[in-house]
Structure 1
Amino acid sequence: MGRKAGALYINPKKFGSLTKPCMKEMVSFLNCLSLNHMKDEKCVRHKELLSACMDAQTTSSRKSWGSINYHLQRLNRGRK
């Protein structure tokens, strides 16, 4: 089981930043916690921003299109 020679293929691991939309908020929250010696009450604003970002991601009902490699294979079949 492997890929055919000459087939189009994109490594999805290179696009890891696209699947992490709340990373900036999480890093800022963790930095705030480390600067304030894990005192949560001093990082309320960062915590609220992270919660709002996470809530926005769960409520968006985006339809998945499948993997990009699946679509590349479909395009390649039509090209032959």
Structure 2
Amino acid sequence: MGKKSGSLYINPKKFGAFAKPCMKEMMSFLNCLSLNQINDDKCARQKELLGACMDAQNNKNRKAWGSINYHLQRLNKTRK
């Protein structure tokens, strides 16, 4: 089942299947910050690992066929 927020229907099962890349690195960085009273100088290693993971994910998710907005605009032009 889903929850209604206004007139929007949200299916929680659909969002449960998303992969969470870099979650382990982010949790270790946040735990380090918590242990060191938000002093990120002591968490340089975790910060570096998180940055490397995020950079790797940024390059992976790039689609060769273009963005969804481009295709929606293209389809809208041919519809008129």
Q: TM-score, normalised by structure 2?
A: 0.57
Q: How many residues align?
A: 52
Give % identity: 58
Structure-2 change in CA distance of 1:63 and 1:15 (3 Å): farther
Please identify which structure carries the higher strand content.
2
Distance in 2 (CA, whole Å) between partners of 1:27 and 1:62 is 28
The equivalent of 2:14 in structure 1 is 12
Q: RCO greater where, 1 or 2, for CA within 8 Å and sep 6 or more?
A: 1
Distance in 1 (CA, whole Å) between partners of 2:24 and 2:63 is 21
**Structure 1 runs of 4+ off > 2 angstroms?**
61-64
Q: TM-score, normalised by structure 1?
A: 0.57
TM superposition shift of 1:14: 2.3
The equivalent of 1:47 in structure 2 is 47
Root-mean-square deviation (Å): 1.8
The amino acid of 2:33's aligned partner reads: L
The equivalent of 1:28 in structure 2 is 28
Q: Flag structure 1 segments of 5+ consecutive residues without an equivalent.
A: 1-10, 65-80
